[in-house]
């Protein structure tokens, strides 16, 4: 008599694959990240700071130089909307690596938008 695979494996198309039915490895804690994950996380954090710093000259040109020619309020409003969505997502996930940089982006995007409207 042939043994039948559990119904959930048949629907997934994994019958005959013993690894597909195995439980997660209990020796690898879910909270432990590898060294490459840590390095990648630091690179992402560094890029976040770098890209914000690259936006500061735009803010200074508008607010100190009173020059907003060529600044698209529509584009910067889209960036602001995106930053707010990412901020909200980061709060829901309780991930400070997501929501903290968004605070900076909201401030910078708002500064560009308001400055572009004031000095247009």
Give tens-digit pLDDT for 5-35: 555 444 455 555 555 566 665 555 555 567 8
CA–CA separation, 62 and 42 (whole Å): 31
The 3-state DSSP composition of the chain as helix, strand, coil percent (nearest 5) reads 70, 0, 30
> Residue 79: helix, strand or coil by DSSP?
helix
Cα angle value 87/58/46 (rounded, 5°):
50
Half-sphere exposure of 35 (CA within 13 A, CB side): 0
**Residue entry with tokens 């039915």:** 21
Note if the pTM is more than 0.85: no
The confidence band for 71, taking pLDDT boundaries of 50, 70 and 90, is very high
Task: Name all domains of the chain by residue range, CATH numbers in brackets.
Answer: 48-120 (1.20.1280.290)
pLDDT digits (tens, 9 = 90+) for 33-44: 678 888 988 898
């Amino acid at each position: 008599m042939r043994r039948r695979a559990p119904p959930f494996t048949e629907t997934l198309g994994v019958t005959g694959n013993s690894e597909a039915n195995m439980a997660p490895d209990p020796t690898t804690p879910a909270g432990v990240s590898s060294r490459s994950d840590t390095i990648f996380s630091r690179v992402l954090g560094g890029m976040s700071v770098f890209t914000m710093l690259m936006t500061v000259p735009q803010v200074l040109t508008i607010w100190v130089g009173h020059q907003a020619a060529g600044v698209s309020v529509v584009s910067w409003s889209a960036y602001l909307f995106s930053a707010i969505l990412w901020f909200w997502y980061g709060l829901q996930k309780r991930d400070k690596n997501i929501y903290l940089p968004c605070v900076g982006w909201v401030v910078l995007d708002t500064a560009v938008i308001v400055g572009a409207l004031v000095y247009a």
